[in-house]
A and B are shown apart, each in its own frame.
Chain A
């Protein structure tokens, strides 16, 4: 398939592996590379990349799967909202199986009669709202800068069309503050970051300047095997030479300034707020909430949500795994009571979750 095969060409892959090996040999210590984005975690597992790399390269996964970093509290609120009479709760499919505090999930809610609707695009909510004027449509707004502009567009459209039965439960997050939190974490010792390809399509390269400023290597990387290997090679070169910068490997998808039109749209509908990340705790100005002009589309302002006692499941290692401090195998629940069929933590649910990837592919 054109535009895909080129990036999966065994000859290209072999050549890149050779370059990686040569450069890695010049570095005497073990190089720790974090892939921030869940799509990278998934691709590394799916193509079996880890085994092809030299021994002194260690890949760890970061907090870049939006489902995985959703806090137990936000999951519990979603479950409460989905249970309200007269509500159609629209969500991306990955959220369906994430367990809340008591083990309930949207999937189980649906089996008990809640109207939970899986959508593949937020704009399906407009059709739903128009077709069901007597019902309240709530969209679970989840995702990073890649997804959020599409939700912003739907809110803007509903506002323009005066659609009154639609609202967003926003648990949207932005990536750079999470990277700041990782850079400040004394337990982590990361030499380089594979920065997310599609988030960067939106936010551009300058958003990552704090990485080289902190002395770490950074490269915005695509999702095909050749992309990831070239990204790793670029990181190794930066580490070997000591010249740290934000490189763009994924130049076919990312402009240095990002997608200003999409970001303007996002910024015209949402504003930043503090947000709770699973594993990382509350990170200042890392979440997005609807601006006052769009308050009527804010689910949390439209519905009274009672105080819910939320708690992370005891023993679940998702928090440390999302920070890159532990690997799934270090979690006492992994593969024992936490499996894809019976996920205890969100990293086992999402196809891009670190635990699910490790369970499936290793």
Chain B
């Protein structure tokens, strides 16, 4: 191993995060459920299929335009269950609070969490609180787990992706990353920039109702759409073609990317998912998505081809080509 200490970059969802998981956690915790490395583990208990997930939320700033750490925790958990075909039912939440954290902020976070849970129709059924000394945490960290029941008869998995599948995204990408960067950098740009943090279980339920042929779904969170596509191409061993012009991006997100030198493809989302389905089902799925408030800007962004080596190639807006790979490094503003 090239590192003797954890670097911040080990947490960016890119190459080092993958190395951390595959070289340290997987070999020791080895089992067929974990090895799938999907957003939730899918488990069979008796005659029922369940999905089970966990996530930790350490976002800074805790409050950002369009949400806070509490709504994010609920949405993230709900989405991890939903993209595996589960109907989210129950959640746990563990709070790690830093000495001195304002009660007013905590109250706002709890209120938003309960509202988010109500919208997603999940119940927070167990929890835990710990308080650590000032300096031992950054205000507030939240850990959650979630359980959902899988009623969808098909299997949703990266392994099910087939040549000629089309790829659909449910809306504009990079909104969450841009909103957080803007809040963090305190940039005064004139237009509003809101996180897209949202529960996708309603939208996904509608999609699965109209198509029994969805092959795979993933939420495009940390690392953005680019990282998810690169990861899927590698793990499914397919060639993914993406058309830059067809990827929905808001103008204000593009603007902040141009100023700071970011690529919207690698900015985080908290209410975006991609799905792979046969071309024949794409129209009806899109139609269904367009009717839902979290799918209004849904679009087909690319397709899958057979390959011996997993690769993603983007057709650029001017007709050129470039590769998309897992991101490395922290998101940093450019130097000149």
- Measured CB to CB, the residues of A under 8 A from B are 1, 4, 8, 10, 13-14, 39, 45-52, 66-67, 92-97, 107-108, 110-112, 118, 120, 142-144, 146-147, 198, 225, 339-342, 349-352, 359-362
Contact = CB atoms under 8 A, between A and B. Distances in A.
List 9 A-B pairs, minimum CB-CB distance, nearest first. Answer: A48-B320, A93-B332, A340-B328, A120-B333, A361-B322, A341-B15, A92-B335, A13-B318, A48-B321
A13 B320 CA distance: 10
Contacts of A147: 335-336
A4 B334 contact: no
A51 B316 CA distance: 11
B258 interface: yes
B23 interface: no
B135 to A, nearest CB: 14
B317 A108 contact: no
A48 B335 contact: no
A143 B320 contact: no
Contacts of B336: 39, 66, 143-144, 146-147, 198
Nearest to A48: B320
Contacts of B329: 96-97, 340, 349, 351
Contacts of A144: 336
Interface string B1-18: 011011111000011100
B131 interface: no
B319 interface: yes
A52 B335 contact: no
Contacts of B258: 1, 4
Interface in B300-324: 314-323
B261 interface: yes
Interface of B: 2-3, 5-9, 14-16, 19, 185, 251, 254-255, 258, 260-261, 263, 314-323, 325, 328-330, 332-336
A120 to B, nearest CB: 4
Among A48, A97, A342: residue with most chain B CB under 10 A: A48
A46 B316 contact: yes
A341 B16 contact: yes
B250 to A, nearest CB: 10
A248 B247 CA distance: 34
B183 to A, nearest CB: 14
Contact of A108 (B7, B260, B314, B318): B7
Contacts of A52: 318-320
B15 A107 contact: no
Contacts of A4: 254, 258
A346 B279 CA distance: 44
A130 B90 CA distance: 49
A342 B254 contact: no
Given A52-B320, A341-B15, A143 B255 contact: no
Contact of B5 (A97, A112, A339, A342): A112
Contacts, number: 114
Contacts of B16: 341
B318 A47 contact: yes
A345 B254 CA distance: 31
Contacts of A93: 330, 332-335
A97 B2 CA distance: 13
Contacts of B319: 10, 13-14, 48, 52
B325 A360 contact: yes
B323 A351 contact: no
A147 to B, nearest CB: 5
Nearest to A7: B318
Contacts of B322: 45-48, 360-362
6 contacts: A94-B335, A96-B332, A107-B8, A143-B335, A340-B15, A351-B329
Contacts of B3: 108
A143 B334 CA distance: 11
A51 B320 contact: yes
Given A112-B5, A340-B329, A120 B321 contact: no
Contacts of A67: 335
A51 B19 CA distance: 33
Nearest to A67: B335
Contact of B261 (A118, A340, A351): A351
Contacts of B334: 92-94, 351-352
B257 to A, nearest CB: 10
A38 to B, nearest CB: 8
Contacts of A1: 251, 254-255, 258
Given A1-B254, A47-B317, A108-B7, A66 B335 contact: yes
A177 to B, nearest CB: 18
Contacts of A362: 322-323
Contacts of A360: 322-323, 325
Contact of A47 (B14, B185, B251, B316): B316
Contacts of B263: 46
Nearest to B18: A341
Contacts of A110: 8
A362 B323 CA distance: 6
Given A4-B254, A341-B19, A342-B2, A361 B317 contact: no
Contacts of A351: 261, 329, 334
Contacts of B6: 111
Contacts of A143: 335-336
Contacts of B185: 120
Nearest to B333: A120
B264 to A, nearest CB: 12
A155 to B, nearest CB: 18
A45 B314 CA distance: 12
Contacts of B255: 1
A351 B327 CA distance: 11
A341 B8 CA distance: 13
A51 B251 CA distance: 28
Contacts of B316: 46-48
B323 A361 contact: yes
Nearest to B314: A48
A118 B185 CA distance: 11
A361 B319 CA distance: 14
Given A49-B320, A147-B335, A225-B320, 9 more contacts: A4-B258, A8-B317, A92-B332, A92-B334, A97-B329, A107-B9, A112-B5, A143-B335, A342-B2
